[in-house]
Amino acid sequence: MTVGGNLDGRVVLVTGASGGIGSVTAAALGAGGAAVIAHYGGNRDGAEAAVAALPEDRRLLIQADLRSAGASRALFAGALAWRGRVDVVVVNAAVLLETPFDGSDELWDEHWDATLRVNVLEPVSLMREAVRHFLDVGGGTIVALSSWAAERGSAIASLAGYAASKAAVRNVAQTIARNHAKDGILAYVVAPGIVHTPMSEISAVSRGGIEALNAALAMGEMVPPEEVADLIAFLSTGRARHLSGATIDVNGATYIR
């Protein structure tokens, strides 16, 4: 899967570009020729590192706390002001918070509220802003990061909130794809399995550690984040128009639908 210079001139907004899949994706998009807007919450250093190889005129960092209502609207406005347009939005930022059924009511309410705000309400608001802009300019692309947990439920009972949030984002992206295909708006869903990121290392504790986790995977290893990033970069070129609306599984054959 080659991108080459097929992203030349494209302006791409990546949320959660300071680590995990987001940082590798921001770097891959930049390497493909895109001008990258790297969003971060609190880790500015991580976002800077992700786009450090890009010339200054092809990189912009924007901070936004997605735990706050309306943050995505302000984020998109800032992104749009940079070059007057945004061609691609990669909806990646998310939190992984436990919502255990046997936990306290306070923890349940707090973590569900935070999960829905960061993983659903703000990403969906961002997609709405993107759609409105794309309708004005004649099209654009959304790549939404979901999860295999959205398809089958989480294997960890305490991550029900996370699984549900990823299912919601997937559904909104599919709705956009279906209703705005004739408007030139493309929307893809990328559903990774367990990608080797700091977030996955944290969740591995609940599975008996990284070695035990890898042993349960078909390829015996977590998905390299670079493979997910390369896929997102390819989708961002707009070359796979008739793949719009699809959910693309990236899990090393551990879960096959």
The pLDDT of residue 189 is: 98
User: pLDDT above 70 covers what percent of the chain?
Assistant: 98
Query: Is residue 207 over pLDDT 80?
Result: no
Task: In whole angstroms, give the CA distance from residue 154 to residue 44.
Answer: 31
Query: Is residue 2 over pLDDT 70?
Result: no
Lowest mean pLDDT among 69-83, 84-98, 193-207, 218-232: 193-207
Cβ-proximal residues to 182 (8 Å cutoff; 6+ apart), any chain: none
Spatial contact of 118 and 65, defined as CB atoms under 8 Å apart: no
The pLDDT of residue 3 is: 66
Spatial contact of 143 and 190, defined as CB atoms under 8 Å apart: yes
Longest dimension (CA), the chain: 52
Cα angle 229-235-240, degrees, rounded to a multiple of 5: 150
- State the average pLDDT over residues 55-80: 98
Helix (H, G, I), strand (E, B) or coil at 31: helix
- State the average pLDDT over residues 194-210: 81
- State the average pLDDT over residues 251-255: 95
